[in-house]
Amino acid sequence: MGQGAAGRMDTGARAGIGAVAAGLVGRHTVWVLLVFLVAVGGIFAPAFLSPANIFNVLRQATALGFVSIGQTFAIAADCIDLSVGAVISLTSCLAAGIMDGQAGGILPALGVVAVSVTGVGLINGLAVGYRKGNPFIVTLGSMAVVNGAVLLYTQEQHVGSAPPGFRIIAEGALGPVPLPVLLALVAFVAAHFVLRHTQYGRYVLAVGGNEEVARLSGIATLRIKILTYLVAAGGAGVTGLFLTARMNVGDPLVGMGFELDAISAVVIGGTDIMGGRGSIAGTLGGVLLYAVLSNVMNLLNILPFSQIVVKGVIIILAISAYHLRRAR
């Protein structure tokens, strides 16, 4: 791409700058965009850079963070998971419904959530890995099933509430740093190490890169796919629990749209939508970009519907930057 861009430039000096800029944008698109947005926010909305607002942005980012971590593994393994939004709603309603404000309900609620999240992940994984279903179609189906079940169970009403002991995960703080932000940070670091430095992480990239080569190399690809869907569902489950604590209620519609936001954050972060390449650090950037974008637009009083349009444009821009890089 550097050479292509250079060829269209008139002078050597401009060509050099163009190539450097293109290279920088290509490799670090998400961070360049983030810095740009922070600068825009800082200039046009003075409140943006206040510590309180920064922590507010980070707290907003945590919900998307957990589910996006799971989705990074899923997309890197070429096992995209569209059911994560539904799993978030399911978790929220199950947890709040079972706890119903009682501290004694926390453990049973966690148990039930763990079992049901595992169930969804297992079914997705078996359908894709064992029955060779198309990941997009399979998880589109499980998304509908889970969403429908949640709406049946709740009759479209909010259910239950969270006891104070549970709300700590959303409201607690260590000094000035909100507890959820710390938890998310730990999760990102751990996920980064798993993807880069463990056997499972390598196998995820191998299965996503070329499943047949992975299989012929002696990798139990079925196991990797099942595990990956468990990770994806697990990330969604944590997001669901976190949202329950923050909103103090079980909401059957809370997860709606999370699957698309998560996929966008992951892909903006440089994970290849075709699988084989993934970056947890990039996903962190994508999640932050999303949170900052919403926050800045809110501060600038941009209408919600316009915000959706802006988000869409940013996704398209970011992805074309990565494609330009790959074409090089």
Q: Which residues bind other proteins (CB under 8 A)?
A: 193, 197-199, 202-203, 205-206, 209-210, 212-220, 276-277
β partners of residue 174: 177
- What is the DSSP-derived secondary structure letter of residue 37? H
Least gap, CB of 203 to other proteins (angstroms): 8
Q: Which is nearer to other proteins, 17 or 220 (CB)?
A: 220
Q: Closest CB to other proteins among 185 and 219?
A: 219
Of 167 and 215, which CB lies nearer to other proteins in the complex structure? 215
Using an 8 Å Cβ cutoff, are 5 and 22 in contact? yes
**Hey, what are 276's tokens?**
């084989």
Q: How far is the CB of 220 from other proteins (least distance, A)?
A: 5
Least separation in angstroms between CB 40 and other proteins = 35
Total residue count of the chain as it appears in this document:
328
Using the minimum distance from each CB to other proteins, give the nearer residue, 216 or 308: 216
Q: How far is the CB of 271 from other proteins (least distance, A)?
A: 13
Q: How far is the CB of 226 from other proteins (least distance, A)?
A: 14
| Residue 37 and residue 289 in contact, taking contact as beta carbons nearer than 8 Å | yes
Q: Cα 143–128–227 angle (5° rounding)?
A: 90
Encoding tokens for residue 115?
């079992």
Q: Which is nearer to other proteins, 149 or 194 (CB)?
A: 194
Identity of the residue, 37 or 206, whose beta carbon is nearer to other proteins in the bound complex: 206
Buried b (16+ CB within 10 A) or exposed e, 281-308: bbbbbbbbbbbbbbbbbeeeeeeeeebe
Shortest distance, position 222 Cβ to other proteins, whole Å: 8
Angstrom distance (rounded) from CA 158 to CA 96:
9
Nearer to other proteins, 41 or 278 (CB): 278
Nearest of 252, 233, 256 to residue 95 by alpha carbon: 252
Query: Using an 8 Å Cβ cutoff, are 222 and 211 in contact?
Result: no
Whole-number Å distance between alpha carbons of 151 and 146: 9
Inter-residue contact 76 to 204 (CB < 8 Å): yes
Q: How far is the CB of 208 from other proteins (least distance, A)?
A: 9
Nearer to other proteins, 157 or 199 (CB): 199
Q: Considering the complex, what minimum distance in angstroms separates the CB of residue 227 from other proteins?
A: 13
The CA distances from residue 152 to 98, 146, 318, in Å, are 16, 10, 39
Q: Which CB, 103 or 216, lies closer to other proteins?
A: 216
CB of 327 to other proteins, least distance (A): 14
The answer for residues whose C-beta is within 8 angstroms of residue 172's C-beta and 6 or more apart is 178, 179, 180
C-alpha distance across the termini of the chain, in Å? 4
Give the C-alpha distances (Å, rounded to integers) separating 33 from 30, 169, 177, 209, 298.
Answer: 5, 30, 25, 27, 18
